[in-house]
Amino acid sequence: MLVFDYDSDGGNTGIGKATALHLARKGARVILACRNRNKAAAAIAEIETQTGSTDVIYVHLDLASLKSVRSFAETFLKTESRLDLLINNAGLVADGRTEDGYGIEFGVNHLGHFLLTNLLLERMKKTGGGRVITLSSMAHRWGHIDFNALVANKDLGTGRYSWQFFHAYCNSKLCNVLFTHELAKRLKGTNVTCYSVHPGVVRTELSRNVGLWQKIFIQPVAWLLFLDPEMGAQTTLHCALQEGIEPLSGKYFSCCEAQEVSAHARDDKVALKLWEVSEKLCGLG
């Protein structure tokens, strides 16, 4: 089981830690793939204390670096014989660029997960019965993908203002839903399934990378919406553990149920184009 972090809400904080704790309690081998070693160590210590598990480990991963993603996948494939559950959990609201020059929200929230999933899919197929879960958000409803801007600027929105951060975040969350939609098609005939998840609006460290004045805009909204990380993890855990949901591969889940999405979030042509563009940006194919 993999949980990713970019010093936001990954395996060592928020929903990621709550998810990892629950799965460790059930006896799973848990790999926290995080950027920050010290925070990962603290999370592992807490998980071990609460669950008694001695099978939770840290492996370095920085989703803002495609080189780091490839390095992680190489290490994983050399050291781990199976992969049952891949949870693409990390997400952030921030300005800036990745190591490869992509907009940070597009690069971390979509492109890093896209590359890592593709690099690990064959191992999941060999393991059998695996699931890929990608955390999206209801914010995908307000997203839009401008492929011309993506090719020209290597991002799906950026800027200094809070509404610009939020718009870019919405765009990246739409990428998550479309990625899962297309991935399900490519997994037909295999025993691997995939799901995108809206965890509920959760109080996490999602906006920790923005400045103080942006937080003044973002944080009050988050605190008004009440869900703590443990509650926010429930839909992820449902998609990870619930028997019989395989026919719903590719669907978007919220409140532990499959939900209909708007037409632009299940557009076959846009999903295919996003996949093909993402392949080129990652150097796949």
> What's the N-to-C CA distance of the chain in angstroms?
26
Q: Which tokens hold the place of 4? A: 């990713």
The amino acid that residue 265 corresponds to is A
The amino acid that residue 22 corresponds to is H
- Annotate 184-227 with three-state secondary structure: HHHCCCCCCEEEEEECCCECCCCCCCCCHHHHHHHHHHHHHCCE
6, 58, 102, 169: the catalytic one is 169
Contact status, residue 220 vs residue 165, Cβ threshold 8 Å:
no
Q: What one-character-per-residue DSSP string does 246-267 give?
A: GGGTT-EEETTEEE---GGGS-
Torsion of CA 262, 255, 105, 132, to 10 degrees: -90
Which residues are CB-contacts of 225 (< 8 A; sequence separation ≥ 6)? 200, 201, 202, 203
Residue 160 burial (CB < 10 Å; 0-12/13-18/19+)?
exposed
Residue 276 burial (CB < 10 Å; 0-12/13-18/19+)?
middle
Contact status, residue 15 vs residue 239, Cβ threshold 8 Å:
no
- To which residue do tokens 């014989």 refer? 81
101: left (phi over 0), alpha (psi -120 to 50) or beta: left
* 169 catalytic residue (yes or no): yes
- Give the active site residues: 169
